[in-house]
Chains A and B, each alone.
Chain A
Amino acid sequence: GEDVEQSLFLSVREGDSSVINCTYTDSSSTYLYWYKQEPGAGLQLLTYIFSNMDMKQDQRLTVLLNKKDKHLSLRIADTQTGDSAIYFCAESPLYSGAGSYQLTFGKGTKLSVIP
């Protein structure tokens, strides 16, 4: 079945860049997502990338996709203490209309930002 893997922890100093990595196994993945979970809250979508793209930039966030290696990364430039959270990688196939749609999440990477 589908599997999404992430490292569990990452620590960076404030002002440095953070890079969170993710690998996935489903070759039919069409959309790949990064979600952020702050303490005591649900997950919120940060950004996503379509599988025919290899890079997407949104302000301090850069998503890189290597489809051949099934590797996704999220880079946060100038990391701030407010970026401390758990970051989830997720993937989904294009909805087939046959009820086979499913969003698969990794276990999450806890980012700690040291002032």
Chain B
Amino acid sequence: DAGVIQSPRHEVTEMGQEVTLRCKPISGHNSLFWYRQTMMRGLELLIYFNNNVPIDDSGMPEDRFSAKMPNASFSTLKIQPSEPRDSAVYFCASTRQGKNTEAFFGQGTRLTVV
């Protein structure tokens, strides 16, 4: 398996533009997580899905952020409109629920909003 795949790896956009981050979880994994990492706040959980259903989105900072998981092999995190303070590395992770809940992370998308 190729692991969790995120795209793009890097994104530079202007303030006010819409940004869409993409994630393909590991096949067979039924939980998917979106995290944001910054120097100031560390790793923050934004939202997670179980079996494509959003379970907890309390970490989503504002209404400008939205996430979808239309099927078991694809998820998006959208920011509209983007702001400079959204600049961070966004990670997607997936797990298979079971005795050992190891989370496998993607390489992350480094977002810069100028």
B8 CB to nearest chain A CB (Å): 14
**Given A104-B45, A108-B42: A44 and B56 within 8 A (CB)?**
no
Indicate whether B55 reaches chain A with its CB closer than 8 angstroms: yes
Residues of B within 8 A of A106 (CB): 42
Q: Is the CB of B102 within 8 A of A99?
A: no
**A42 CA / B48 CA spacing, docked (Å):** 17
In Å, the complex CA distance between A105 and B105 comes to 13
Find out whether the CB atom of B101 lies under 8 angstroms from the CB atom of A105: no
Q: Write the B23-52 contact mask toward A (1 if CB under 8 angstroms, else 0).
A: 000000001010100000111010010100
Q: How many residues of A contact B (CB 8 A)?
A: 24
Once the chains bind, are A99 and B53 in contact (CB under 8 Å)? yes
Nearest residue in B to A105 (C-beta to C-beta)?
A: B43
Q: Which of A15-52 contact B (CB under 8 A)?
A: 31, 33, 35, 40-45, 48
Residue B13 CB within 8 A of the other chain: no
The secondary-structure label for the interface of chain B is strand
CB proximity of B43 to chain A, nearest CB, Å:
5
B35 partner residues in chain A, CB cutoff 8 A = 105
Residues of B within 8 A of A (CB): 4, 31, 33, 35, 41-43, 45, 48, 50, 53, 55-56, 91, 93, 95, 97-98, 100-108
- Ordered by A's residue number, 27 sampled pairs between the chains whose C-beta atoms are within 8 Å are A31-B100, A41-B107, A41-B108, A42-B4, A42-B91, A42-B107, A42-B108, A43-B91, A43-B103, A45-B103, A95-B97, A99-B50, A99-B53, A100-B55, A101-B55, A101-B97, A102-B48, A102-B55, A102-B56, A103-B95, A103-B101, A104-B45, A105-B35, A105-B42, A106-B42, A107-B41, A108-B42
